[in-house]
Every structure is written in structure tokens, then in C-alpha cells.
């Protein structure tokens, strides 16, 4: 049978280990899904200031998914997920169904639960946002999945950050800093020691808090992997929190990726100012 697709989106190329872990966890619960993403499988979101270009990108991706014969596209990115529902699927044939990764795992939670054998000592707070939760109940599903890990406790709180993920807040003066301060306040109120991010852009923005605020920041997939005893390394976090990101990446890898490109496109992101 043709594999499903795990559509990780485009900006997830920063987090190769989350893609690997997602594929492995899906496989462990009986779901074979091939990772697909990057510029050739774009929903058009990065180019939506020019809708005609965004449409062309979205149409190309739909054609590719339809021709793959995949019965299901498992989404990661909320932008991709909503664009699929709101635009791509409204103007193209769609020969597959779609679920978010957390839904696909939740469907298999009876198979996932016995695999979560490792004790993880964490009182975790989830970086929950409004917006996407109306499409997919990430704010309820993810704490429930993580709650199956031995040793953890869920620090529930009513705070919900605005924007469907931190990506939307980052370019608006003051907005992301306010959300980070509110998140830290909520964590203190609940006695949480671990901040769990749901989306990649939130992970990208929140991991910087680990260096100065005495908390641990992990993605929800990382925490599931820990519960399953799967080793991983969050390299992006290590690079972001290193005194010298280029040294942390390593000269050989920088050279292989293209030193000029890394200097121009990667380094400014890894060294951007911390907001709180």
C-alpha cells in the first residue's frame, strides 16, 4: 500500500530531528508516512503577499500529493494545514484525506501508550495559542498525549497566546515579548519547569528562553520521544543558545552548507536579540 505523506512544511528544515522523530513515532504506532516538504512542497504561505505566486505553489503541491497516490497527508504546520483546507482543497481535486500529526497519533493512542515506558521528570506547561485550535484541537490533544508519559505532570493554565503560532507575533513590535512574558508568568504560577512548544515557529522563538530563565524548552514530539526512550539532539536549540553559533555548528558543516549562505541567512537568525 502506498505510504501516507508526512507534510512537514518548509520552515521545519531547521528541525531535522523533529521530522525524523515524527516519522519514527508514526511508524511505531503502525503509520507509514514519508516526509515531504521544503520549497517543492509549499502551501504558498511564504509568498501570499503575491497571491498568484502562492496559488501556483499550492497547486503544484496539490498535484504532487494527488499523483503520489497517498491515502492521507499528515500535516505538521498550521499554515499548511489551513491553506490546504481553505484554498488548495477548495480549488483543486483532493484525492486524499488529511490529519494533523497530533490527530494521527491520537487515533493510535492505544498503540502509543504502551510504548511510553521511560520516566520523564517534568512538570510541563504547553505553549498554547488561539487560532488553529478551532481547526484541530491541539490544545487538548497534545497535553493528553504527553500526559501518558510516566513521571510527567501537566501544568494547566488558562493563558492562550494570541496568533495561531508565534510566527505571527514576531514581526509586530512588542507582541512576541508580551507573549513570552505572559508565558513565563503562567509557568511560575503553575510551578512548571518545562515549556512544551507545539509548532516549529514557537519552538524557534521560545528556545532562547532556556538560556536565561531557568526552564527547559522542548517540542511536544521531543517529549514523546523521551517517553519512548528515543535519543535525539535539538541542534537548533544548541546553536541558538551557544555563545558562538558557528563554532557550535562546526566548520565542516558550515562549509558543506555554504559559508556565505550560512553567514548571510542563518547567523543573523541565530544571534537575533532576545526579547525578555
**Closer residue to other proteins in complex, CB, 148/267:** 267
Q: What is the nearest approach in angstroms of other proteins to the Cβ of residue 208?
A: 17
Q: What is the nearest approach in angstroms of other proteins to the Cβ of residue 135?
A: 9
237/32 Cα distance (integer angstroms) = 28
Nearest CA to 80 out of 158, 14, 11, 16 is that of 11
Q: Which of 258, 271, 272, 274 binds other proteins (CB under 8 A)?
A: 258
Single out the segment in contact with other proteins by CB under 8 A; choices: 109-117, 137-145, 172-180, 209-217: 172-180
Please report whether residue 137 would count as binding other proteins according to CB under 8 A. no
Q: Which of 27, 40, 121, 271 binds other proteins (CB under 8 A)?
A: 40
Site residues for other proteins, 222-251, by CB under 8 A, read 235-236, 249
Please report whether residue 8 would count as binding other proteins according to CB under 8 A. yes
250/204 Cα distance (integer angstroms) = 20
Please report whether residue 19 would count as binding other proteins according to CB under 8 A. yes
Place of cell 484541537: 137
201/274 Cα distance (integer angstroms) = 15
List the beta bridge partners of residue 165: none
Q: Which of 261, 271, 272, 274 binds other proteins (CB under 8 A)?
A: 261
**Closer residue to other proteins in complex, CB, 130/247:** 130
Site size toward other proteins (CB under 8 A) is 70
**Closer residue to other proteins in complex, CB, 3/123:** 3
Single out the segment in contact with other proteins by CB under 8 A; choices: 42-50, 183-191, 213-221, 224-232: 42-50
Single out the segment in contact with other proteins by CB under 8 A; choices: 113-121, 138-146, 185-193, 260-268: 260-268
Contact 129/167 with Cβ under 8 angstroms? no
Which residues lie below 8 Å from residue 127, measured CB to CB, with a gap of 6+?
A: 161, 166, 183, 195, 196, 197, 198, 202, 206
**Closer residue to other proteins in complex, CB, 114/134:** 134
Nearest CA to 174 out of 187, 163, 190, 158 is that of 163
Please report whether residue 266 would count as binding other proteins according to CB under 8 A. yes
Q: How far is CA 26 from CA 139, 167, 192, 224, in A?
A: 20, 26, 28, 11
Residue 92, Cβ density class (10 Å: 0-12 exposed, 13-18 middle, ≥19 buried): middle
Site residues for other proteins, 96-125, by CB under 8 A, read 96-98
Amino acid at each position: 500500500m502506498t505510504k501516507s505523506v508526512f507534510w512537514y512544511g518548509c520552515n521545519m528544515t531547521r528541525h531535522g530531528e523533529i521530522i525524523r522523530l515524527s516519522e519514527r513515532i508514526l511508524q511505531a504506532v503502525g503509520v507509514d508516512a514519508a516526509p515531504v516538504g521544503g520549497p517543492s512542497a509549499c502551501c504558498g504561505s511564504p509568498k501570499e503577499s503575491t497571491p498568484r505566486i502562492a496559488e501556483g505553489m499550492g497547486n503544484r503541491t496539490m498535484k504532487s500529493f494527488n499523483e503520489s497516490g497517498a491515502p492521507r497527508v499528515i500535516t505538521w504546520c498550521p499554515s499548511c494545514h489551513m491553506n490546504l483546507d481553505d484554498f488548495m482543497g477548495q480549488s483543486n481535486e483532493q484525492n486524499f484525506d488529511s490529519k494533523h500529526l497530533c490527530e494521527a497519533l491520537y487515533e493510535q493512542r492505544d498503540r502509543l501508550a504502551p510504548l511510553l515506558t521511560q520516566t520523564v521528570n517534568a512538570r510541563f506547561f504547553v505553549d498554547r495559542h488561539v487560532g488553529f485550535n478551532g481547526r484541530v484541537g491541539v490544545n487538548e490533544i497534545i497535553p493528553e498525549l504527553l500526559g501518558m508519559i510516566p513521571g510527567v505532570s501537566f501544568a494547566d493554565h488558562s493563558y492562550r497566546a494570541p496568533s495561531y503560532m508565534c510566527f505571527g507575533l514576531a514581526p509586530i513590535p512588542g507582541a512576541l515579548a508580551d507573549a513570552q512574558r505572559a508565558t513565563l508568568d503562567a509557568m511560575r504560577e503553575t510551578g512548571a519547569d518545562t515549556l512544551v512548544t507545539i509548532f516549529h515557529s514557537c519552538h524557534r522563538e521560545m528556545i532562547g528562553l532556556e538560556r536565561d530563565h531557568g526552564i527547559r524548552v522542548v517540542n511536544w514530539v521531543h517529549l514523546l520521544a523521551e517517553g519512548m526512550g528515543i535519543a535525539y539532539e535539538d541542534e537548533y536549540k544548541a546553536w541558538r543558545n551557544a555563545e558562538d553559533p558557528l563554532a557550535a555548528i562546526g566548520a565542516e558543516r558550515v562549509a558543506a552548507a555554504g559559508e556565505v549562505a550560512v553567514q548571510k541567512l542563518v547567523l543573523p537568525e541565530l544571534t537575533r536579540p532576545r526579547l525578555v
